[in-house]
Every structure is written in C-alpha cells, then in structure tokens.
Amino acid sequence: MAVHHHHEHAGASLAQAAESALVEAGEQWTDMRADIFAVLATFEKPASAYDIADLVSQKRGKRVAPNSVYRILDLFVATNLARRVESANAYLANSHPGCLHDCIFLICDSCGTATHIDDDILTMNVRAAAEHAGFAEVRPVIEVRGKCADCG
C-alpha cells in the first residue's frame, strides 16, 4: 500500500503552520481565527461548530455565535486548515496545513475518535473513477465508520 509521508504538526507548531498557511492564502490571522483554530486543534474527535462556539465563548468570556464559527470554519476548510467530516457533521483541524491532498478518515462509532490515513494511490483511484464518469472539479469524501482498535 502506498502511503503518503509528511511532517505532522501539533500544539504551537500546528498553530504556527496554520497561521502561515492562512496568510499564504492571502487571508488574515485574526484573534478570533486563532482562538477558533486553537480550540479546534484541542479536539481529537471531530468537533461540531456548536462545540467550538461554546468553548470559544468560555475562553473569551463573551458569547460567540455559531454563525461566526461557521464562517471561519468554512474559511479554514477552503484554505485546507481544517476538514469537514461529512458523516459526523463536524470538523477536524488539519495536522498538516499547506500540504494539499485527499484524506481518508476513520471514525469510531463507539468512542467517536477519528484518525486519518493518507493513501494517495487509493484517493487518486477514486478521483480517476469519478472523472471517468464525467465529473470535474472533484472533491472526494472518503470516510470509514467502524470500531477502532481500542474499542474492539
């Protein structure tokens, strides 16, 4: 199996990388965005916009509306700082922002934690299949629900 290798960021290093990537994309790294990214990055399970809104509200001592969170999450997804997990209606920080490729997410139905696999050959095959069917501008959504090793 072909596996994609790259540096995985965490903690402060991840926030740094996110900031760089966002600025690189011509967007601003504001306090609000930093706070939302920081909160998102603390989760190892996919976080809903409302989860994030609650925590950011606490952190700031002032209500932050889901609305604002969605706006920023959308931006993060568009700039590859975060990923949306469709089967969970939730979001994950991208541990390697700036590195553009498709991810495969594994989500445990039991504990909710998500891990991700990078297998470029597999994802390219999915892309190829879609393009062969006449699709363009394809964005694969590849997620696997199941029971993780710890919950086995």
Q: Which residues bind its own copies (CB under 8 A)?
A: 1, 86-87, 89, 104, 106, 108-109, 115, 117, 119, 122, 125-130, 132-149, 152
143 within 8 A of 85, measured Cβ to Cβ: yes
Using CB under 7 A as the binding rule, the residues of this chain from 7 to 36 that contact DNA are: 27-28, 30-33
The rounded distance, in Å, linking the Cα atoms of 32 and 46 is: 20
Minimum CB distance to DNA smaller for 27 or for 119? 27
Q: Is 51 exposed, middle or buried (0-12, 13-18, 19+ CB in 10 A)?
A: middle
The stretch among 67-75, 113-121, 134-142, 144-152 that binds DNA (CB under 7 A) is: 67-75
Counting Cα atoms < 13 Å in the Cβ hemisphere of 37 gives 30
Contact residues for DNA, defined by CB under 7 A: 27-28, 30-33, 48-51, 62-68, 70-72, 74, 89-90
